[in-house]
Structure 1
């Protein structure tokens, strides 16, 4: 019989720890490369960067997409899209599924073009019970709060998606069922309406968060034609849920107050159009009860600041001006 001479655990433990650390680092590098590739292959690497450090891949952008915005909105909150330079969406490089979902009255992930992704509602944070019932009253799609691309400007005057980002998908160089269209803040990918292999998703396959198991990533989210349309909660662990990013509302220059928060005009507006000119001016024009209203702004002399002129229903039709900054 051969005699085995075993080394004490204290002698081999450093080698085990080093091997595990190396394996973990390699896994992080692999996931980082996949996330970066999802942005690059979609064709957005000129405006979106991916920085991997501290166990996260930060998808960095100004949240301002290069596609049509705001057109088609009826239920406007009289907010306008303003770039949020340096917005960093942290995607964990290690993922772990939870037993219960987490909800948030803010973004749950980010699209590969750097635009934040919210759930489909606009009525505050949903409870776990709410997730199992269609929130008809707060459905941003059926209440005509979204533009033709699936997004709108929120309370922070930030553009974000609430449903499938159709215009972004049309721009993607790798558009197809196997293309990742975004990443949730728990580290899992978001795909379109079909499975990555092109097969249809059977009724009942998606869970309450609009996701299902995935052979490659362990889990994945989807968009869908019916509510909840896109990820509506997170099934994975998030190390510090409260630290997830939010776009702060505009503030007044020289520490002054920001613009008055918009209030949706009763019954909605008509003919809302958002345009940009070559000199950087952005104009949102619309009518309400036969009168013309608008929110116009252009870059001021200060970095990340803008000169505004507005005539809104919220402020009673008075023309107001001000300089506001990120």
Structure 2
């Protein structure tokens, strides 16, 4: 009788263990083994998702994207009298200067991979949005964080004009709001998305660089990608696109 009881307990524990293992696997069904990094090409997505304002060419294991840096949407930074001009929002004051054309070129790897040493993003362009506008981090001139005063210089796109031209710092109506939109690519070749994952939920497993490896609408087999921050920045209703270090090795960006 005792042997039968012990046998029954053993079988029960085995079934319980199997159930836990099965649940664990299904809970992370969209997570992809990070060891696949470097095996996923971003070339076709870059070619299909960027607007026609961005000229794309490939050479060996790199992709070069060229644009004039001007947005394809309304902004007070176009200047009064321009077709895409709109007045600043109430309580906002635009910076001096207007949108002007620049000669921008960003070169990224076709198969981005994790860098051994993670480099901090710096002032200036850290990526390019799908419309060819540069993406900046959460810092301003003097390497100081974007503050409440600087926020009042942003247009509805989460952008303003600086010494190097028009650029995005935070989420906006023309890139991403509360969604899983593809915003663009950073200089290390990895894509950056809005605050949500493909399934409409907010990711809870982002690493120190603001990203994780999982499937996306554009990469059904999975890729490492960034998400813009899900923290309401300074309670202003905007979300920083990217802060901190790159996950991969950055390519060049010339202006």
What TM-score does the superposition give when structure 2 sets the normalisation length? 0.65
1:112 to 118, 127, 130: 130
State whether residues 223 and 231 of structure 1, in contact with CA within 8 Å, keep that contact through their aligned partners in structure 2.
yes
Between the two structures, name the one with larger relative contact order (CA 8 Å, sep ≥ 6): 2
Partner secondary structure for residue 221 of structure 1: strand
- Aligned equivalents of 1:235 and 1:166: distance in 2? 26
What TM-score does the superposition give when structure 1 sets the normalisation length? 0.52
Q: CA deviation at 1:165?
A: 3.7
Higher strand share: 1
Q: Identify if the C-alpha distance between structure 1 residues 115 and 81 changes in structure 2 by more than 3 Å, giving closer, same or farther.
A: same
Q: CA deviation at 1:34?
A: 1.9
Q: CA deviation at 1:96?
A: 2.0
Partner secondary structure for residue 34 of structure 1: helix
- Aligned equivalents of 1:212 and 1:166: distance in 2? 24
Paired residues in the alignment total 192
State whether residues 108 and 185 of structure 1, in contact with CA within 8 Å, keep that contact through their aligned partners in structure 2.
yes
- Aligned equivalents of 2:246 and 2:143: distance in 1? 13
Q: Which runs of 5+ in 1 are unaligned?
A: 1-26, 127-134, 248-326
Q: Which runs of 5+ in 2 are unaligned?
A: 1-38, 77-87, 216-220, 234-238
State whether residues 119 and 231 of structure 1, in contact with CA within 8 Å, keep that contact through their aligned partners in structure 2.
yes
Q: CA deviation at 1:201?
A: 2.1
Partner secondary structure for residue 45 of structure 2: helix
Deviations 1:236-279 (A, max 9, x none): 1125xxx432x3xxxxxxxxxxxxxxxxxxxxxxxxxxxxxxxx
Partner secondary structure for residue 108 of structure 2: strand
- Aligned equivalents of 1:97 and 1:124: distance in 2? 29
Deviations 1:75-118 (A, max 9, x none): 5441221112x422222112221343422111110011111100
- Aligned equivalents of 1:209 and 1:195: distance in 2? 16
Q: Identify if the C-alpha distance between structure 1 residues 220 and 89 changes in structure 2 by more than 3 Å, giving closer, same or farther.
A: same
1:222 to 208, 220, 227: 227
Q: Pairwise CA RMSD of aligned residues?
A: 2.8
